A and B are shown apart, each in its own frame.
Chain A
Amino acid sequence: ELKVEQNPLFLSMQEGKNYTIYCNYSTTSDRLYWYRQDPGKSLESLFVLLSNGAVKQEGRLMASLDTKARLSTLHITAAVHDLSATYFCAVTLSGNTPLVFGKGTRLSVIA
């Protein structure tokens, strides 16, 4: 059974600081996704990581994937208030199989 764990579950950051969110998964997979969710809203796709060593960056967010360690990281650089949201990682085994989600990391960026 595929399990996905995120940590931390809650994160309070000061503006301008850097931090990393971790996503571990239990079964070999080379398909990992990061989503953002604002309060009361749906999920917005951030990154799709498909191979070992994949790194993608968008603005102040950078995601990476280490399939051997079964680990993905979401690094936040110089946090700003607009990044406050809940971030989910999700993994799928193959093809059109459903995603298995972590519990999410609720990020709050404070001045």
Chain B
Amino acid sequence: DGGITQSPKYLFRKEGQNVTLSCEQNLNHDAMYWYRQDPGQGLRLIYYSQIVNDFQKGDIAEGYSVSREKKESFPLTVTSAQKNPTAFYLCASSIDLGLAGFNEQFFGPGTRLTVL
């Protein structure tokens, strides 16, 4: 089955600890994205990557880091510098159809991170 997987589904972090959220896709999509959602809020962009070995900061990148070593994988690390990391994290991917196309984004099931 093609799709996007995220793991773990639930994650608990202690103060001062770094944690890594996994995102994998087998859709052969070029671009991948990380969004953060707080209760009752919309989605805010953390990082995105349009091609392997390249990524750009989004609106709220501080305290987060990413890597894109493989096309199908885009892990997100929440560092101890992120002061309020409790949130729902969503990974998405899209295929590059060029300027004439559109980048419908497909979302993974999400990871709920809680700081203890």
Binding site for B on A (CB under 8 A): 31, 33, 35, 41-45, 48, 50, 88, 90, 92, 94-104, 106
Contact = CB atoms under 8 A, between A and B. Distances in A.
Interface string B21-49: 00000000011010100001111110010
Interface of B: 30-31, 33, 35, 40-45, 48, 50, 58, 90, 94, 96, 98-99, 101-110
A96 B94 contact: yes
A101 B92 CA distance: 13
A64 to B, nearest CB: 17
B102 A31 contact: yes
A96 B96 contact: yes
A50 B42 contact: no
A88 B99 CA distance: 24
B90 A43 contact: yes
A107 B79 CA distance: 35
B91 to A, nearest CB: 9
Q: Which of B35, B44, B94, B105 is packed against the most chain A CB atoms within 10 Å?
A: B105
Nearest to B43: A101
B109 A98 contact: no
A21 B67 CA distance: 38
Nearest to B106: A45
Given A33-B104, A96-B94, 17 more contacts: A42-B90, A42-B107, A42-B108, A43-B43, A44-B107, A45-B105, A48-B104, A88-B43, A95-B98, A95-B99, A98-B48, A99-B43, A99-B105, A101-B43, A101-B44, A103-B42, A104-B42
